[in-house]
Amino acid sequence: MSSVIGFRDTWPFGYRLYNVAVATLLLVTLSPTILLLAFLLLITQGPNILYFGPRMGKNQRPFQIIKFRTLCPKRARAITADRTLPADANIETRLGKILREVRLDELPQLVNIIRGDMNICGPRPVRPEIAAIESRRIKGYEKRFDVRPGLIGPTQACFGHGASKRIRARMNNLAVNRPVNIAAELSLLVRIGSSILHRIGKKSVKFAKRFSTGKTSAFKDIYLSDIVQNKPSLVHRIDMSSLSVRGVDLPSDGHLAIRLHSGALRRARVKLTQSGAPGIFNYKPVNEVDAFVIERYALGRVIIPPRVAWSIESRQPELAGQEAGI
């Protein structure tokens, strides 16, 4: 996907017309959804439903981004003064967490596109404070300001909210050097829309299953291996900081192996500590690349999550033997 997306517009006037046309069409088509969200936010958190905040646009020109408000204002200002929101901050409003997860809080940015602040596709908009910090920390970070920021893009689709800025910058800089590919943009837009609808559907099913007593023996194909003894064990649950396995001695170092639907493997190194409960480990990724792999492939905390294979628990010995060489 990222190999065909480009941000460099070779026909500025035509590309501008395209952005206005698509944003206007989406705004009209999605107006019932936008009005419904506005009504739900109004009755759950009062009249202050929109967020206006400074962002850096093309040539570092500041503009005010428009989003649905999803965070408690005072706590958000304190926590995000010089950084992006941590994954475990838990300062979302009553509907904020679900809106942020499915990215519906971004819909008002269609107005920013019509106004000329943003494009449909481009780097994620950043606050001036973050831009100043990352420009000193990451070589070539300012290249993103050669183009307008975007509502969608490879980093918005494939990275979670707290993903590494260094990896994001690398991907953005590659796209800034490539010419715009409208067909690729529209394809990405359709994929994002389909994924959001799918995620909303999955959440509805999960909510319905709360009232069901049925059990399942299926698990995602994710394994924890001891680096020294290289003995893989099926991971039964994983979140941002802990994971559970059965019947494994505590390794201080290990790696997660995630098998994709295509059969390919993605690996992430982790540091493990005992949580106090049998089979439950706290973990930390070794570096930002490992953190990205876990967030994208093991947790699926991105707009377009990869297809991870599913295994049946009874197949664990067979699969463990296959994994012995990883």
For residues 19 and 74, membership in a common domain is answered with: yes
Q: Determine the structural domain holding residue 313 and report its residue range.
A: 218-323
For residues 161 and 271, membership in a common domain is answered with: no
pLDDT of residue 319: 38
Average pLDDT of the residues in 297-322: 64
For residues 65 and 132, membership in a common domain is answered with: yes
Q: Is the pLDDT of residue 206 over 80?
A: no
Per-residue pLDDT tens digits for 33-74: 999 999 999 998 888 899 999 999 999 999 999 999 988 766
What whole-number distance in Å separates Cα of residue 294 and Cα of residue 275? Answer: 19
Residue 139 lies in a domain: yes
Side chain identity, residue 65: I
Give residue 84's pLDDT band: very low, low, confident or very high (50, 70, 90).
low
Residue 102 lies in a domain: yes
Give residue 202's pLDDT band: very low, low, confident or very high (50, 70, 90).
confident
Which has more confidence, 220 or 45?
45
pLDDT of residue 217: 40
Residue 52 lies in a domain: yes
C-beta of residue 310 within 8 angstroms of C-beta of residue 220? yes
Alpha helices in 61-164, H assignment, sequence order: 73-79, 96-102, 109-115, 128-137, 154-158
Average pLDDT of the residues in 17-39: 97
Side chain identity, residue 151: L
pLDDT of residue 322: 38
Q: Is the pLDDT of residue 210 over 50?
A: yes
Give SS3 for 281: strand
Give SS3 for 226: strand
C-beta of residue 176 within 8 angstroms of C-beta of residue 147? yes
For residues 199 and 269, membership in a common domain is answered with: no
Per-residue pLDDT tens digits for 244-258: 887 666 567 888 899
For the chain, the farthest-separated pair of C-alpha atoms sits apart, in whole angstroms, at 63
The tally of domains found in the chain comes to 2
What whole-number distance in Å separates Cα of residue 141 and Cα of residue 143? Answer: 5
Percent of the chain scoring above 70 in pLDDT: 80
For 43, the token pair is 């009755």
* 36-40, 132-136, 181-185, 309-313: least confidently modelled range: 309-313
Which has more confidence, 304 or 75?
304
For residues 244 and 186, membership in a common domain is answered with: no
User: How long is the chain?
Assistant: 326
- pTM above the 0.95 mark? no
- For residue 222, give the CATH number of its domain: 2.40.10.220
Burial class (CB in 10 A: 0-12, 13-18, 19+), 188: buried
The residue with tokens 């943003």 is 118
Q: Is the pLDDT of residue 31 over 70?
A: yes
Percent of the chain scoring above 90 in pLDDT: 49
pLDDT of residue 111: 98
pLDDT of residue 207: 57
For residues 169 and 195, membership in a common domain is answered with: yes
